[in-house]
Structure 1
Amino acid sequence: MPQHRRFEGPTDLHLHSSHSDGTEPPAEVMAAAHRHGLHTAALTDHDTTSGWAEAAEAATSLGMTFVPGMELSARHRWRSVHLLAYLVDPDDADLRAMTDRIRSSRLDRAQIMAERISHDYDIAWDDIVAQTTDGATVGRPHIADALVARGIVVDRTEAFASILHPAGDYYVALYAPDPVTAVELVVGAGGVPIVAHPAGRALLPDSVLTAMLDAGLAGFELHHRENLPEPTALLAELAAERDLIVTGSSDYHGLGKPNMPGENTTADDMVARIFALGRGTAPVFP
């Protein structure tokens, strides 16, 4: 693998395309990253690597380094946990079986939620499917987009705060592995696992974090607009004690969120550590 090659930042390690819940194809995501001055960018669609080839070609044609990634869904009790997985082997059997199962659950959940919502709002399954692109698994963001298109809500934010809220009557939980299993799957596929936006309203329990670290968790995405100051400080202390990787990124979704590429970035030395740890696939240099 060409991990010894020189690269330089600024680097954004968390961007989404229309292969999951972003609104732009992978090539347009890389073009947006380039317009915002990035030299290195990762595509981290939810539970899929299907956009890698298009993103890599676009990034390298623009003189950028491409980092293959994915955002693997996990769950601890009621809480969703998102695990950024860099440089995994996309053909690893165990990881692929899990992502297939999660995407199947995502589709089943969307269909059930759509049926429930249709009893109270003028929306049909075809309206939701119309918001997806080929190869994308239908999910809550696409339901939100359909609600916007039908004039029921103003934007995704309103949809998730009301009709699609987890405490609401229409919500259906997504199947996802526990966080320790998710870390083990990423490590087993040669990847580098980093917890996405881990410092929101509630930190994972110490016992869960310890088990994740023992399983090979490499670090935390501490520079992210959803992180809060106090829990971020606590995780920064843990990262320093354990010599963990600390990343920063935008979580760009195109028009799906206000986040812009490069609003948070990852230091070059941290990117180098990810490149050195990854065994499943390699970064793609221009």
Structure 2
Amino acid sequence: MIDLHVHTHASADAQHSPRELFAMAREIGVTTLSFADHNTLAALPAGRELAGETGIEFIPAVELNTELDGRELHLLGYGIADESPAVREWFGEIERLFLRQAERRVRRLTELGLRLTLAAVQTYAAGRLPTGSSFLDALNADPANHRHPLLAPYREGPKAADPYVNFYFDVLAKGGPADVGGESLPFRAAVARLRELRAVPVLAHPRDLPATEFATAVAAGLRGVEAICSYHDPVTARRWLEAAAHFRLLPTAGSDFHGARTKAAVKLGDLPGADETIVVRLRAAIADANA
């Protein structure tokens, strides 16, 4: 059993520590694990240490929030060398970029009539880069916001069953009322930088991405696509496996596990059809990137 896309509590919207995740992985029989936190490498040293303790193979990764021609795409970087000065310098730039984005989102939400401060968002981010959950928690914590119609769908009704994900995509993401634009990581530049830093760029959970847009992403220099994931039914997974074969890309498999608080339906290691051949090919791609 493998899982190549797992979030630790280094992601502000995730729940579990690296040690807890390794214990959970060992209990269910995961043999290869990757931490891929949002725009941060903070948990990777712990992952390497725990791999030595447990015997579970660990492949370092990161998940970057990027934008390609107006669409938000999540980009995984496997084999990222988090101890490299060049990598650390780049992630310092990324942190500053997303902090500016958070500031602009706060301003936009207040323009929409909500009461919110950057300090409140950062309190819920707890020293990490803010995510959608940081914003929603900070908004819900202020009684002045409780009757605001923008938040109503995430308190009652179908969207309240998965409030953090729905709030992010409805309100903060591209096209939402608090979409700030501009402050995003360009997809093409991120792919190029990952390759320059000897990491393997893989498109995360493409879901229903149109074929023309996927071809554009491939042309930017992708090396793989997350074909098997929690958001793909068997038909969708097969489609992306075929797309990977067509474009000669690596197919990867990852749950995007965050913990029950933010993504209750996503289970660690629950990836039917994922097998060791995926890991073998990923190892080879990482070795090739570092040759």
TM-score range, shorter chain: 0.7 to 0.9
Match of 2:175 in 1: 167
- What secondary structure sits across from 1:205 in the alignment? helix
Q: TM-score, normalised by structure 1?
A: 0.80
Greater length-normalized contact order (CA 8 Å, ≥ 6 residues apart): 1
Counterpart check, 1:147 vs 2:139: yes
Corresponding residue for 1:129? Answer: 122
- Aligned mates of 1:244, 1:161 — CA distance in 2: 28
C-alpha distance in 1, partners of 2:118/2:190? 31
Percent identity over paired residues: 24
Equivalent runs, 1:1-286 vs 2, <5 Å: 10-21=1-12, 22-92=14-84, 95-119=87-111, 120-134=113-127, 136-150=128-142, 153-154=154-155, 155-160=163-168, 162-173=170-181, 174-179=183-188, 181-205=189-213, 207-212=215-220, 215=221, 217-227=222-232, 232-254=237-259, 255-258=261-264, 259-264=266-271, 266-279=274-287
SS in 2 for 1:13: strand
- CA shift, 1:193, in A, is 1.9
| Cα displacement (A) at 1:201 | 4.5
SS at 2:226 equivalent:
strand
Is the CA contact 1:88–1:280 (under 8 Å) kept in the aligned structure 2?
Answer: no
Deviates more, 1:268-277 or 1:95-104: 95-104
Q: Give, in whole Å, the separation in 2 of the partners of 1:64 and 1:270.
A: 16
Aligned-pair CA distance for 1:92: 4.7
Equivalents in 2 of 1:232, 1:115: separation in Å?
A: 39
Asked if the contact 2:102/2:118 (under 8 Å) is kept, the reply is no
Which secondary structure does the structure 2 equivalent of 1:45 belong to? strand
List alignment gaps of at least 5 residues for structure 1.
1-9
**Count of residue pairs the alignment pairs up:** 268
CA deviations 1:110-159 (Å, max 9, x no partner) are 1221233235224333321121233x112333112323444654431342
1:250 positional shift: 0.6
TM-score by length of 2: 0.79
Separation of aligned partners in 2, 1:262 and 1:231: 18
Amino acid at match of 2:3: D
Within 2, Cα distance between the matches of 1:211 and 1:281?
18
1:52, 1:280 → 2: CA distance?
Answer: 21
Deviation at 1:15, TM superposition (A): 0.8
**Structure 1 residues 98, 75: CA separation in 2 closer, same or farther (over 3 Å shift)?**
farther
Taking the aligned partners of 1:203 and 1:148, their CA distance within structure 2 comes to 38
| Structure 1 residues 262 and 149: CA distance shift in structure 2, 3 A | farther
**Worse overlay, 81-90 or 240-249:** 240-249
The answer to whether the Cα contact below 8 Å between 2:38 and 2:62 also exists between their aligned partners in 1 is yes
Distance 1:20 1:195 in 2: 19
**CA RMSD after TM alignment:** 2.9
Question: Following the alignment from structure 1 to structure 2, what is the Cα–Cα distance between the partners of residues 185 and 276?
Answer: 20
